[in-house]
Amino acid sequence: MSGILNSSIGRKVAMALSAFFLMIFLLQHFIINFLSVINPDTFNEVSHFMGTNPLIQYVMQPILIFGVIFHFVMGFALEIKNRRARQISYARNNGAANSTWMSRNMIYSGLFILIFLIIHFIDFWIPEINTKYIQGDMSGLLADGEGFRYYEELVHKFEPIWRVALYCLGFVFLALHLLHGFMSAFQSVGANNKYTNALKGFGKAYSILVPLGFIVIALFHHFNH
């Protein structure tokens, strides 16, 4: 494994694979959260299942956390290495003429997304871990015992306008990050064939619609409760 990561191609492939994994999780996360808009009861039931299923909690959750850390560490390492290499090429030609603004500034969008993720963990994940594993309440019920607590907690989080604004800004940066990162990941694993144009179309749709969907969720709960 260390030998693969020591090569430039190996690092790019590893980065791409971690990106695919996180994009699959992001889509699944969006689908579950969008249930809170269309059917709160189903959202509660699915959230309780995801939050108490041993396979998800003790296997998939640690893998996800590792994937997030790996992707950001590898991304920052690759970006720093690329920037050093570009300093030489910029002295000879105009680097901006050969690349997009987003491709040259992935480190900044990535840094903002990392800050956003830390805030998101503080908002949702840490309180959930505290409730289930420190307080020992695995029931998922409201204090009065009438129904699950997940929907009410989600709605409560999106009451302050500052948090809604922060989340919307975070997903705008995520969209910008994905618009370049999606195709970059496929190129890293050699997906350059007759399906390339279709992948580009799908990538643009995914990169715009999924973050937009999260923004809709935040705005919906802020303005409807």
Q: Is 158 helix (H, G, I), strand (E, B) or coil?
A: coil
User: Which backbone phi and psi does 91 adopt, to 5 degrees?
Assistant: -70, -20
Mind listing the pLDDT tens digit for each residue in 180-215?
888 777 777 666 667 778 888 898 999 999 999 999
Between CA 71 and CA 147 the distance in angstroms is: 37
Identity of the residue numbered 216: V
- Domains belonging to the chain, first-starting first, are 2-223 (1.20.1300)
The first and second tokens of residue 225, run together, are 């409760």
Say which DSSP state 160 is in.
Answer: S
**Measured over all CA atoms, what is the biggest interatomic distance in the chain, rounded to whole angstroms?**
69
Mind listing the pLDDT tens digit for each residue in 11-58?
788 888 898 999 999 999 999 999 999 999 999 999 999 999 999 999
Say yes or no to pLDDT of 97 above 60. no
